[in-house]
Structure 1
């Protein structure tokens, strides 16, 4: 039973990640935001998306919040991993 719940949380997070990454990118282009706040904004938006996803999943609110938080953290990492930096090094 616990394994199924964890799988449902991760499945929900996996679905939310690209949606969240796109929302953060749109927000970043629309409003000038400090780059160091983007992960926090991503997590907050992930929590909001987790709450709003009640129509699409049978998960409890707490589990949807966890999925949203995972998606927020992963969404920021996904965008940074895929973004190409031409001519710069880190």
Structure 2
């Protein structure tokens, strides 16, 4: 059980590092290209998966664990950006 905890710590630590990179890359893509707002979270997850896949020379986690860290970091990056990007209004107008 202790080994599982160590692996999860590694995945979360790796995801935390990826979060900042993904946040910056998604923001760069949003400013460079016209992207519908609905696709931004999907873009963040895809970027996270790609960076998790491409990080093989930098970390010795299995591919599955790197993809999990990248996907979670992509979802977190979108949520982190939305915390600071306050918008007035509601999503559903009655």
Q: TM-score range by the shorter chain?
A: over 0.9
Report the Cα distance in structure 1 between the residues aligned to 2:23 and 2:4, rounded to whole angstroms: 28
- Please tell me whether Structure 1 or Structure 2 has the larger radius of gyration of its CA atoms: 2
- The CA deviation at 1:57 is 1.0
Aligned residue pairs total 88
The answer for the alignment partner of 2:19 in structure 1 is: 17
Report the Cα distance in structure 2 between the residues aligned to 1:12 and 1:56, rounded to whole angstroms: 10
Structure 2: give runs of 5+ residues left out of the alignment. Answer: none
| TM-score of the pair, normalised by structure 2 | 0.88
Structure (1 or 2) with the greater helix fraction: 1
The answer for the alignment partner of 1:28 in structure 2 is: 30
Structure 1: give runs of 5+ residues left out of the alignment. Answer: none
The answer for the alignment partner of 1:70 in structure 2 is: 72
Report the Cα distance in structure 2 between the residues aligned to 1:59 and 1:3, rounded to whole angstroms: 14
Matches within 5 A, 1:1-90: 1-85=3-87, 88-90=88-90
Instruction: Please state whether the residue corresponding to 2:55 is helix, strand or coil.
Output: helix
- The CA deviation at 1:25 is 0.5
4+ residue runs over 6 A deviation: none
Instruction: Please state whether the residue corresponding to 1:54 is helix, strand or coil.
Output: coil
What is the Cα-based RMSD across aligned positions, in Å? 1.0
